[in-house]
Structure 1
């Protein structure tokens, strides 16, 4: 048993759910320095045995810490404290209140709009099956399927190489050049994007790229066009930068183009997030014509284009961009593992210098430089392509199983939207909003959670759910669907 102590008892009195008590206890220990940066946390099994918890409760607490940036996970090595990166614990309210800048105040306000409170489950009674919680929320790829031996070999190669130990000191703020060249080659081959290494800037995840670009391109009070619904990270970035979000309507062909009075537009054409709608070729041409006419920039977030099961893949907007109006953003967090925070942007040449200079202000030397070199090695030796082929087969089968199970067991409750790619299933609720909330609470009581798609909307809309599956095995997937069916039965019993 590891030599490890966390003051859990005081938090179990405050929080009714064990995983929440553990999360807050660990988070406070990180904030007050009891668990300094670099500390290796016990495994979920070890910590569960130490405090009489289930491994499910410990796993959920670890996932929350990972989502807020307090810890990082390394395949085959464990979970490590990264430092104080997230929100301050409740005890910080007793300290002196500092006056934030307008940007800082907006950023904090934007980031507070998250979690169970935003999804309406904050005050729901504890799940009866909390000891084996099954989450259909997106938790990143399933790490058990990752080729960790190949990855470790790439890391070892970097450690042995003559430039691995010293390159970080003189690293380009735009990131490792070999990795940027490997990404450019991959995009030319797989996405039809003609780009070179100079046009690619690496980031600590795609969200950092989105935020920095928004800061550079959006002035105080200026409009930015966003899909409705869309990923809430984009909404937060616009709000934090003092911009005004302009919701764009969606239909069966994706974003509905208008002559938007704006100079910045965000879009997910390959697979609209979260609905899964693919932007039609005609709409793509219309958006590019709008950008040229308005002297605007389009930020194209191609967040999970690597996972397509059927249908002809359409060229990204960036591949059609002849006027240098599109910034293409991608990430490795869904294709590799969630803790590998490597995102990238393919920039118009006019933005290369401003973005690189801004990146240098935040990070004079890019983080995780050896991981970047290892990823370049992994791509150049063919490991990345082999991994993608395996994961396409696996995720394709998982998505088919999820869709079939949902349609068979609760198809009278949800209308599953068509999708030929992606790692989540978008489903419209067929009944009343009141019944939707009752169903979500009943599912939670059965130990199942799924994403309420309302958190992605800017304007009111019909109830909908997002079912993520990449992190689950088939046993958990089928068990989760079975519990959802039982949850609906629970509601019928209470009505009798």
Structure 2
């Protein structure tokens, strides 16, 4: 049987063929185009239809089966379950509502939380639509973007991941497996693997019951904000900081108090607050590493204020030199630190898995909140596959391999960007996947360069997006997703863009 799903659209977003096919089939089931009871083609027929391997089709089918969208019977085939099709269409085909349309009523008022969400969404849309973007003709040359890009698995890591996915699919189909009892916290194997990993690489002693898995670190942070923030609470955020944290705190009704930074990171104070967000391993976005003495001061502050600290360890897996200082969580003796991590940067971008390591009482509260959103854990297949990937040592090998690759790209980036030393003060760093630079001159030439560089086919992230209050112009350059040749070409275009406008700024 032939079927048509939005595979080509999905492959542009997810890149991995099995993920694209899974999402295309899943969307077809949920929007009703693949009705309940529909028999799906055999893996051989579907592979021929879309020009992919039978293995990719089998992986997509395994994911649909594990998540309850289809059922499979030996000798009969794979069928869309009736319940999945009904979710998307309250009126089955042939029984559509025949009542004439009625006049629309005024939409009911949103809650205070809802109104804040909509205001934040408007602000996000404005930031994502720079005025100069409409003036550029993208057909002139390919754009080299130093903004965050797609991270994908390659080479031996990709082969090991496919093997782990296949084995995970078999695990979850075994009637006697532990998949029959599913924890809202996430896959037990993966939580154990995370405890082992952070114990070995971060010095954090944790039990699997303290680990809660979510769909990315932002889901963790958003749920924690809802659990820990009351209306008008004063919440301490680093300035600058990741904009997602700012939005989550604001949506929850918190009043943000910006904490000052210097070259060593956040400057400890006796803040009047019960909650601090901090990135001590590598401050986002500046890259500053918080020294041990300041980490101890922050922990002492938390004890004196009976406060929580949310430690976001977002990309310290990749280190070029030196040894990292212990995370706050490893130094914590009062059980006041919540450690948040993610696999989206260390594995691949479309793997939306984040986790928190929490004190036992708070782990129960986060589990209860998560149960409200996700009664069953999402991405069960990927969770079990990642557990196997880590327990077999493939994750450690993957990190070593990617560290070598990213270090080489960072060296090229540093070398090429030295040509622009008259424009930026570069924040030195021995780890991470982006570089932070402070503009040396006035605002006007910086913003002129932003627009002109886009015309030359190169972009970067304006660090103003992360500032809680107006500050000096600064830039974030992500390099890990680019090849060495792209980095060289991007630096060349940036130099050309500056050369084309610098005569207008005689004082520079």
**TM-score (structure 2 length as normaliser):** 0.79
Compute the displacement of 1:426 (Å). 0.2
SS in structure 2 opposite 1:161?
helix
User: In structure 1, what is the Cα distance between the partners aligned to 2:416 and 2:268?
Assistant: 36
In structure 2, which of residues 151, 154, 158 is the aligned counterpart of residue 141 of structure 1?
A: 151
Radius of gyration: which is bigger?
2
- Please tell me whether the aligned partners of residues 403 and 416 of structure 1 are also in contact (alpha carbons under 8 angstroms): no
Matched position secondary structure for 2:213: strand
Check whether the contact 1:128–1:446 (CA below 8 A) recurs between aligned residues.
no
- Give the whole-Å Cα distance in 2 for the aligned partners of 1:135 and 1:362: 35
Secondary structure of the corresponding residue to residue 344 of structure 1: strand
Measure, in 2, the Cα distance between the counterparts of 1:144 and 1:121: 36
**Residue aligning to 2:59:** none
Give the C-alpha shift of residue 100 in structure 1.
1.7
Q: Give the alignment partner of residue 437 of structure 2, picking from 418, 427, 432.
A: 427
Q: Return the alpha-carbon distance in structure 2 between the equivalents of residues 392 and 430 of structure 1.
A: 31
How far 1:410 sits from its partner (Å)?
1.6
Pairing 1:485–2:452 present = no
Would the aligned equivalents of 1:276 and 1:426 in 2 still touch at CA under 8 Å?
yes
Matching residue within 425, 430, 455 for 1:445: 455
Quote how far apart the aligned CAs of 1:141 are.
Answer: 2.2
CA deviations 1:397-417 (Å, max 9, x no partner) are 11111111011x222111111
Q: 1:180 to 1:206 in 2, by over 3 A?
A: same
- Aligned twin of 2:6: 39
Query: Residue 297 of structure 2: SS of its match in structure 1?
Result: helix
Partner of 1:292: 303
Task: Describe how 1:351-366 pairs up with structure 2 within 5 A.
Answer: 351-366=362-377
Q: Does 1:369 find its partner at 2:380? A: yes
Q: Is the 8 A contact 1:146 1:337 kept in 2?
A: no
Q: Deviations over 1:465-486 (max 9, x none)?
A: 0000111111111111111011
What SS does the aligned partner of 1:41 have?
helix
Task: Work out whether residues 127 and 465 of structure 2, in 8 Å CA contact, stay in contact via their aligned partners in 1.
Answer: no
Aligned-partner Cα distance in 2 for 1:171–1:146? 31
1:216 aligns with 2:227: yes
Q: For the Cα contact (< 8 Å) 2:132–2:451, is it kept in 1? A: no
CA distance in 2, matches of 1:466, 1:145: 29
The answer to which of 209-218 and 396-405 deviates more is 396-405
State the SS of the aligned residue for 2:355.
strand
Secondary structure at the aligned position of 1:299 is classed as: strand
State the alpha-carbon separation in 1 of the partners of residues 314 and 445 from structure 2.
32
Aligned to 1:417: 427
* 2:278 paired residue number: 267
For the 8 Å contact 2:286–2:436, the answer to whether it is kept is: yes
Matched-pair contact (CA < 8 Å) for 2:236–2:256: yes
Q: Which runs of 5+ in 1 are unaligned?
A: 5-37, 45-61, 63-70, 85-93
> How far apart are the structure 1 equivalents of 2:222 and 2:487?
34
Q: How many residues align?
A: 428
- Structure 1 range deviating more: 159-168 or 183-192: 159-168
1:290 positional shift: 0.6
SS of residue paired to 1:112: helix
- The answer to whether structure 1 residue 197 and structure 2 residue 211 are counterparts is no
Distance (whole Å) between structure 2 residues aligned to residue 200 and residue 354 of structure 1? 12
2:260 maps to which residue? 249
Counterpart of 1:342 in structure 2 is 353
Question: 1:40/1:123 Cα in 2 relative to 1: closer, same or farther (>3 Å)?
Answer: closer
Worse-superposed segment, 263-272 or 153-162: 153-162
The offset of 1:115, in angstroms, is 5.5
CA distance in 1, matches of 2:153, 2:125: 23
Choose from 161, 178, 185 the match for 1:174. 185
Counterpart of 2:333 in structure 1 is 322
